[in-house]
């Protein structure tokens, strides 16, 4: 069983809570982007209907999880591992992570506001959170109409870059960056 000291992060690696949030959300994002890609490339097929029927509920779950992750990240900010590489690389990593967080919050938030302000109501996992309206509220729906899809694809591009950089650290620099998120505190020990 995990000891309490493995729950929070440490400079040697990420704790169990951060790793569970990271990999759990990675799996849900994979599913969420599969639904968006199928909507573009395979509209009105059985597989698209299956994935798209989960887009609101999985998106809402990701929104809740990113809020938890943000609070947990702030609480652990000063004991997290420092980015590897030159000062410029470390700055780029921080900027990239900040942009990831910004989009992970903005993309579902905009869509939820649109659903709440729209005429169809808003249900997740079969539970109605907002009733349908007779007329849409423009200031709630317009931002997502303009930006939800666009920022969603920008988030996908950033995630692809994030994965590429993790592979660069592991395969080329071999500096243990990925191991801190897979093996946690044991990652550092494995390198020495």
Residue 40 lies near ligand HEM (rule: CB under 6 A): yes
Residue 152 lies near ligand HEM (rule: CB under 6 A): yes
Cβ proximity to ligand HEM: between 16 and 34 the closer is: 34
**Pairwise CA distance, residues 97 & 85, whole Å:** 15
**Judging by beta carbons within 10 Å of its beta carbon (0-12, 13-18, 19+), is residue 116 exposed, middle or buried?**
middle
Please, what is the minimum distance in Å from the beta carbon of residue 170 to ligand HEM? 25
Residue 155 lies near ligand HEM (rule: CB under 6 A): yes
**Pairwise CA distance, residues 178 & 165, whole Å:** 10
Residue 51 lies near ligand HEM (rule: CB under 6 A): no
**Judging by beta carbons within 10 Å of its beta carbon (0-12, 13-18, 19+), is residue 140 exposed, middle or buried?**
middle
**Pairwise CA distance, residues 126 & 123, whole Å:** 6
| Closest residue to ligand HEM using C-beta atoms | 59
The only residue of 21, 25, 38, 62 in contact with ligand HEM, by rule CB under 6 A = 62
Count of residues that bind ligand HEM according to CB under 6 A: 21
């Amino acid at each position: 069983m995990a000891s309490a000291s493995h729950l929070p992060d440490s400079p040697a690696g990420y704790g169990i809570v951060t790793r569970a949030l990271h990999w759990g959300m990675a799996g849900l994002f994979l599913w969420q982007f599969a639904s968006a890609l199928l909507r573009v490339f395979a509209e009105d097929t059985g597989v698209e209907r299956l994935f798209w029927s989960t887009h609101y509920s999985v998106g809402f779950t990701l929104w809740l999880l990113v809020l938890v992750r943000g609070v947990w990240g702030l609480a652990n900010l000063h004991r997290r591992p420092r980015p590897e590489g030159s000062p410029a690389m470390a700055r780029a990593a921080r900027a990239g992570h900040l942009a990831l967080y910004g989009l992970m919050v903005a993309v579902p938030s905009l869509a939820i506001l649109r659903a709440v302000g729209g005429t169809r109501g808003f249900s997740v996992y079969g539970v109605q959170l907002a009733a349908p309206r007779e007329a849409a509220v423009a200031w709630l729906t317009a931002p997502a109409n303009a930006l939800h899809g666009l920022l969603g694809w920008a988030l996908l591009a950033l995630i692809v870059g994030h994965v590429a950089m993790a592979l660069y650290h592991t395969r080329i620099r071999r500096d243990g960056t990925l191991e801190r998120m897979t093996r946690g505190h044991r990652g550092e020990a494995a390198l020495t």
